[in-house]
Amino acid sequence: THFGYRDVPVGDKQKLVGEVFTSVAGKYDLMNDLMSLGVHRVWKHYFVATSSVSRGDRVLDLAGGTGDIAALLRGRVGDSGEIVLGDINGAMLKVGRDRMTDRGNVNGFEYVQCNAEALPFPDASFDLVTIAFGLRNVTDKDAALREMHRVLKIGGQARVLEFSQVTADWFKPIYDFHSFNILPKLGKLFAQDGDSYQYLAESIRKHPAQDALKEMMQAAGFARCDYRNLSGGIVAIHTGYKV
């Protein structure tokens, strides 16, 4: 659904990523709970609770998927606020919209199928832009960060919640075992789809580490860039401002 926004062509690589998420869309929430033992809910709560956003704000949640972040943002922006949920994948957006309606959230939401690398929004149109567990899947991350910067208003905040590099040496082998052995097996068992979860584990491993991502945000034009590790660096929250 585009709600009057211009359609953006989606490249081949992005189509591939799109297919991975089409195959997991229905089981997505269950798998998140299984893989993280429910901790992803805590990370998401913390991510939204610490974002700088006020009542009445207009917020873009990129790679919004099944809508966890958007639903949490509702409480922060209130009834007068507006939340745009953007995702490249139509199946994820549809699950997101259904979930949102089930949660009683109907007004103040827009669903836009779009590629984070080329956003169909004018400059300076949002107070906050979030992307949770999404940047990792974007092919041209620098382009996505530049686009997040472009669509932010002056003074606006960008926030990235993403898997990162665990900091403690003793924890690394345990974490790798979970990622490359347990995770694909859980995928096979519960979603009949080990390959997609193998892909997810690899994408986590390849994603830039904390300091590298911070530098990418600076290069994209953000000011006052910083990050905070959660759960020993399993995930990190990066923050930047448009000044």
Residue ranges for the binding site? 66, 87, 115-116
For the window 71-110, what string marks contact with ligand SAM as x by the rule CB under 6 A?
A: ----------------xxx--x------------------
β-pair type (235-241, 223-230): antiparallel
CB of 170 to ligand SAM, least distance (A): 27
Q: HSE on the CB side for 211, CA within 13 Å?
A: 1
Which residues belong to the annotated binding site for S-adenosyl-L-methionine? 66, 87, 115-116
Among 31, 60, 65, 152, the residue binding ligand SAM under the rule CB under 6 A is 65
CB 76, CB 52: distance < 8 Å: no
Q: Which helix (H) or strand (E) covers residue 22, if one does?
A: helix 12-24
Single out the segment in contact with ligand SAM by CB under 6 A; choices: 114-122, 165-173, 183-191, 213-221: 114-122
Residue 236 identity (one-letter amino acid) = A
Give which of 100, 59, 98, 97 is closest to 78, Cα–Cα.
59
Q: Is 56 within 8 Å of 32 (Cβ atoms)?
A: no
Q: How many CA atoms lie within 13 A of 111 on its CB side?
A: 21
Nearest residue to the partner ligand SAM, using Cβ: 65
Query: Least distance (Å) from ligand SAM to the CB of residue 18?
Result: 6
Question: Which 10-29 residues touch ligand SAM, going by CB under 6 A?
Answer: 14, 17, 21
Binding residues with ligand SAM: total (CB under 6 A): 22
